[in-house]
Chain A
Amino acid sequence: MPYPADRKYTKEHEWIQVNGNTATVGITDYAQESLGDIVFVETPKVGAELTAGKTFGTVESVKAVSDLFAPASGTVTEVNADLATSPEKVNKDAHGSWMLKMTLKNPSELDGLLSPADYEKFVAEEAGH
């Protein structure tokens, strides 16, 4: 499936969409499909400091708990309230369901992330295992 061109991707299957110095973060369609029915999402509070590559929360399916990894460093400015009441929305539309918004401490970190094409390649290799 084509991954939206307006964002970058991580090997932990998060996406990050940048708008100036702020960014929106979510998980990819590949992630939601691998997880199965999502029943619970644990996100940080507004004001929390995130460090690129470190865990910032968890997403739970019926069967398992998976860590969420910060694609970039910065401060959380908003959390999607829908996640608490309707986590299944992430299954229905992963790319349209945002988890948090943040200010970016170091926008150059994004240079190291995957383009949509590179992510698609990465996913194809992962799925092949």
Chain B
Amino acid sequence: MVEFNGWDMPVEYPASIGGGIIKEHMAVRTGVGIFDVSHMGDIRLAGPQALAAVQHISMNDASKLAIGQAQYSALLYPQGTFVDDVIVHRLGEDEYLLVINAGTREKDFNWVRDNTRQFDCAVENLSDDFTQIAIQGPKGVDLLQKLTDADLSKVKFYWVTRGKLCGLPNILMGRTGYTAEDGFEIYVPADENTSARVWNEILAAGREFGVVPCGLGARNTLRLEGKLPLYGHEISDTINVWEAGLDRFCKMEKPEFIGREALEKAKAAGVKRTLVGSEMTDRGIARDGYKVQDESGREIGYVTSGSPAPFLKKNIALAYVPVEHSAVGTKVKVEIRGQGVEAVVVPTPFYKRPKKV
């Protein structure tokens, strides 16, 4: 167990119950794994101007969301850098739920509240009201279907539904996740009895699929293979949207949102550095913070996240490098304990889940 942004969380589960980072990672890629992600935060915006409020603080276009639909987005500072990344869910006519990172719960809530005062919209911090459990993997939907009366086959990826779950009424279930696999995230009442009961019922229902509980270690290796950003690493308050390569979630055609002006200027000035994927070609593991060098050994950038990739069986990393060094196939070095070890820039995401036949 480790301390993670104020939460006591497992890095991995004991080998005696089928745990371990590699086993947990592989379970999610080939079967199903479950995660207690209650550390994530939840902010609800509701009222006649809820959409306008969301549009002001979020870079993606929430007006495109039908009721029950969700989208990946980010809250930006006026400089076009990141307050946090977020999943925006439209729950009702004028009701939106923002699911945010654990480490930024308070910062995000204050940011949302302080930047939406001008809109006729209530902003509530519901983070402590929910226990959030992620059920991820090709068998994830089958597992959850055993526990709910909602017809999950009707819920497309990045849509949500409500239904009875483990006897609890009207439970929100979203076809979202942080693993680059299919699956759901469910939100149940946070009291300990309910939470423990639901967790255990999921484990029991998942036994036939080989379900494995998964910790932070696998959570990180799974999202890394899928090139999903982690706040404080690929995105932060000193990195802008273009550098992070999140252009497709940033709708500049929206006339106004916090950060838009700075992003326009940054685009006109030309982006200097960019996030690339890399793979070690010589023996060694690139890790967070390691320096990246060009072929001659000159320092050109740094690793934002690096680790062995259990499914791909390679040592991969995401790194910021100057645009001149960002083409796929560019040879680079990663400084590992004083030595430059050879690596190459590769396409991302490193892993994409196979299309369902």
Which residues of chain A have a CB within 8 Å of any CB of chain B?
A: 33, 36-37, 39-40, 58, 60-63, 65, 84
Q: A36-B21, A37-B21, A39-B285 are in contact. Are A62 and B337 (CB under 8 A)?
A: no
Given A62-B217, A62-B310, A65-B285; 10 other pairs, CB 8 A cutoff: A37-B20, A37-B22, A60-B285, A61-B21, A62-B21, A62-B221, A62-B308, A63-B21, A63-B217, A63-B307
Q: A60-B285, A62-B22, A62-B221 are in contact. Are A39 and B12 (CB under 8 A)?
A: no
Q: A62-B221, A62-B310, A63-B217 are in contact. Are A36 and B285 (CB under 8 A)?
A: no
Q: Is the interface of B mostly helix, strand, loop or mixed?
A: loop
Sampled A-B contacts (13; CB under 8 Å): A36-B20, A36-B217, A37-B21, A39-B285, A39-B308, A40-B283, A40-B285, A58-B337, A61-B21, A62-B221, A63-B11, A63-B21, A84-B283
CA–CA, A84 to B337, complex, Å? 18
Give A67's nearest chain B residue, CB to CB.
B337
B287: CB under 8 A from chain A? yes
CB 8 Å contact bits of B10-28 with A (1 = contact, 0 = none): 0110010000111000000
Give A40's nearest chain B residue, CB to CB.
B285
CA–CA, A39 to B283, complex, Å? 11
CA–CA, A63 to B337, complex, Å? 16
Give A62's nearest chain B residue, CB to CB.
B21
Taking the closest CB of chain B, its distance from the CB of A32, in whole angstroms, is 10
Give A88's nearest chain B residue, CB to CB.
B22
Taking the closest CB of chain B, its distance from the CB of A67, in whole angstroms, is 10
Give B218's nearest chain A residue, CB to CB.
A62
Give B310's nearest chain A residue, CB to CB.
A62
A62 near B287: Cβ-Cβ < 8 Å: no
CB 8 Å contact bits of B206-227 with A (1 = contact, 0 = none): 0000000000010001000000
CA–CA, A84 to B21, complex, Å? 20
Residues of B within 8 A of A58 (CB): 337
Residues of B within 8 A of A39 (CB): 285, 308
Residues of B within 8 A of A84 (CB): 283
Give A55's nearest chain B residue, CB to CB.
B337
Taking the closest CB of chain A, its distance from the CB of B286, in whole angstroms, is 11
Give A37's nearest chain B residue, CB to CB.
B22
The 7 closest A-B pairs by CB, nearest first: A62-B21, A37-B22, A39-B308, A63-B217, A62-B308, A37-B20, A40-B285
Taking the closest CB of chain B, its distance from the CB of A57, in whole angstroms, is 10
Q: Which of B269-307 contact A (CB under 8 A)?
A: 283-285, 287, 307
Which listed residue (A36, A40, A60, A65) contacts B12, Cβ 8 A? A36
B283 near A62: Cβ-Cβ < 8 Å: no
Residues of A within 8 A of B11 (CB): 36, 63
CA–CA, A60 to B22, complex, Å? 14
Give B221's nearest chain A residue, CB to CB.
A62
CA–CA, A39 to B22, complex, Å? 10
Residues of A within 8 A of B284 (CB): 40
Taking the closest CB of chain B, its distance from the CB of A63, in whole angstroms, is 5
CA–CA, A62 to B312, complex, Å? 13
Give B337's nearest chain A residue, CB to CB.
A58
Interface-centre pick from B20, B285, B287 (highest chain A CB count, 10 A): B285
